[in-house]
Structure 1
Amino acid sequence: MTMLNQFLWVIYPYLCLAIFVVGHIFRYRTDQFNWTAKSSEFIEKKRLMAGSLLFHLGVIPVFFGHVSGLGIPKSWMRAFGVDDHIYHIGAVYIGGIFGAMTLIGMLILTARRFTMKNVRRLSSASDLAVNALLLIIVCMGMFATLVTNAVRPEFDYRETISVWFRGLFMLRPDASLMTDVPLSFKLHALLGFGILAFWPFSRLVHVWSVPLNYMGRSYILYRKNKTTRREG
């Protein structure tokens, strides 16, 4: 079990992070023309808009919630006046609302991609895998937040998972911190690192292609082309 724990909570995360970084560099240098997400909007628009809007409105606050929960120590939160009760309300209730939005959006997008024949034909194997994997990750996150926290209220992931997570980036990982973590949290963490390893080889790379320079670019000028007719 010690060797398995070392692999799951030390070797595996570093392996996924290395693939994430090296994979992006390799993809960018060899496959820039496919650095995008193929649009299927012309096939079906209503479900795409609804699912995409819910997913993106939900996943952005969820992401920053993960950043604060995993990256900021509990003592720092208390120093800023955020006690455990307030944090719990934010994590469970506010996080649960945005998590539910993310889940509903993913359900719509996944059902659309798998059940609509024309959309499925346009999709690659990696597109289908990304949708399925993201849906499972979101489901596990919601289960951990709403069910596991209710069943095991004494468990505080900020004293175990968060400390382990920060240790990875400080090059002092401690696999023993994950020994008594509930299974739902473990699966959520493992799948999260798994999607990082898969990221460079999927449509998810389009996240880094936000056209921010569009807002500052010069106006495009259109001029009417006046032609003169010659009569002869």
Structure 2
Amino acid sequence: MSAAATIAWVVFPYVAMAVFVVGLFWRYRYDKFGWTTRSSELYEHALLRLGSPMFHFGILFVALGHFMGLLIPKSWTEAVGIGQDFYHVIATYLGSLAGLMTIVGLAILIYRRRKTGPVFLATTRTDKVMYVLLGMPILLGMWATVQNQILAGGHGYDYRETISPWLRSLFALQPQPELMTDVPYQFKLHIVAAFLLFLVWPFTRLVHAFSAPVQYSTRPLVVYRSRGGPSRGTRAPRRGWEPVAPPRERRRRSPTSTEL
């Protein structure tokens, strides 16, 4: 194997994964207050309610599809009765639908962030870079699927014979970069873009993907009290400004939101 192939399919993936793991640990250890999406729901919620579910559900199905196709060996799926024809239909067409949903949702969120003044002002340079690096592997993955799976006809390119065992060889610490030699370049670009995203992931708002509000239902209630009692000013309160009823305590949980 050439030095370039070794760097592309061995060195770079290991560097990206190492930075991903160590970066997440460092971010959680030293920047807990920054471990957030910096919610902007108060500024605009109509587009957020439309784009956020589409993106998050779409990317969830995309992730599940990648897990099944890349980390589960082909022999395992065939052993439980999932043949190549059935797998091709599920992976190609349902995967394309999930990818399209992700792209549309992401486009809505980007449009909202650009066109809503307060949201755009709250957008940092890191956010802008994150959106670019997030969109690249999604678009390249859709391109690779359409070019090599849909337009190619038949079963398309069987990446479970090359890309999947190559990726598993990395996790087994026995890298086999030679498996990537004849992989179509669209898939290669998709893979490089994906590892580049993992490389910067810990330093962006994407860290919220590893935060689940599991303590929300059991945490203490937040107590809200109205300001009762006599006026503190020197003037008597005008009619219409007096409390219409005795102050009451309202107990409810504080709202939460998840956005990108």
Structures share fold, TM-score greater than 0.5: yes
> 1:31/1:219 Cα in 2 relative to 1: closer, same or farther (>3 Å)?
closer
2:255 is matched with which residue?
Answer: none
Q: Check if 1:82 corresponds to 2:82.
A: yes
Paired residues of 1:110 and 1:135 also in contact (CA < 8 A)? no
1:88 & 1:177 partners in 2: Cα distance?
A: 21
Question: Any unmatched runs of 5+ in structure 2?
Answer: 230-260
1:184-223 mapped onto 2 (5 Å cutoff):
184-217=186-219
Given the superposition, is the C-alpha separation of residues 218 and 41 from structure 1 closer, same or farther in structure 2, using an over 3 Å criterion? Answer: closer
Point out the more displaced range, 152-161 or 3-12: 152-161
Indicate how the Cα distance of structure 1 residues 58 and 216 shifts in structure 2: closer, same or farther if over 3 A, else same.
same
The verdict on how the C-alpha distance between 1:46 and 1:21 changes in structure 2, with shifts beyond 3 A counting, is: same
Rg (Cα) greater in structure: 2
| 2:92/2:150 contact within 8 Å kept | no
* Aligned position for 2:45: 45
How do residues 1-232 of structure 1 correspond to structure 2 at under 5 angstroms? 2-153=2-153, 154-217=156-219
Higher relative contact order (CA 8 A, sep 6+): 1
Question: If the length of structure 1 is used for normalisation, what is the TM-score?
Answer: 0.90
Could you tell which deviates more after superposition, 37-46 or 2-11? 37-46
Query: 1:114 Cα deviation (Å)?
Result: 3.3
Contact between 1:55 and 1:102, CA under 8 Å: does it hold in 2?
A: yes
What CA distance in whole angstroms lies between the structure 2 residues aligned with 1:113 and 1:184?
A: 30
CA distance in 2, matches of 1:46, 1:195: 28
Report the alpha carbon displacement of residue 151 of structure 1 after superposing the two structures with TM.
4.2
Equivalent residues of 2:71, 2:168 under 8 A apart: yes
CA distance in 1 between counterparts of 2:212 and 2:197 reads 20
Q: CA deviation at 1:216?
A: 3.8
User: Once the two structures are aligned, what percentage of the paired residues are identical?
Assistant: 43
> Quick check: which one's helix share is greater?
1
SS in structure 1 of the partner of residue 183 of structure 2:
coil
Cα shift readout 1:145-167 (whole Å, capped 9, x = no counterpart): 12222344552100000010000
Post-superposition Cα deviations, 1:25-59, rounded to whole Å, max 9, x if no partner, equal 21122211111111122222211221111001111
Q: Give, in angstroms, the shift of residue 65 of structure 1.
A: 0.6
CA-CA distance at 1:129 after TM superposition: 1.1
Q: How many residues align?
A: 227
The answer for unaligned runs of 5 or more in structure 1 is: 228-232
Query: What is the Cα deviation at residue 69 of structure 1?
Result: 0.2
Q: Contact conserved, 1:17 with 1:196, CA < 8 A, in 2?
A: yes
Q: CA RMSD in A?
A: 2.2
Q: In the alignment, is the contact (CA less than 8 A) between 1:167 and 1:174 conserved in 2?
A: yes
Q: Is the 8 Å Cα contact of residues 107 and 135 (structure 1) preserved in structure 2? A: no
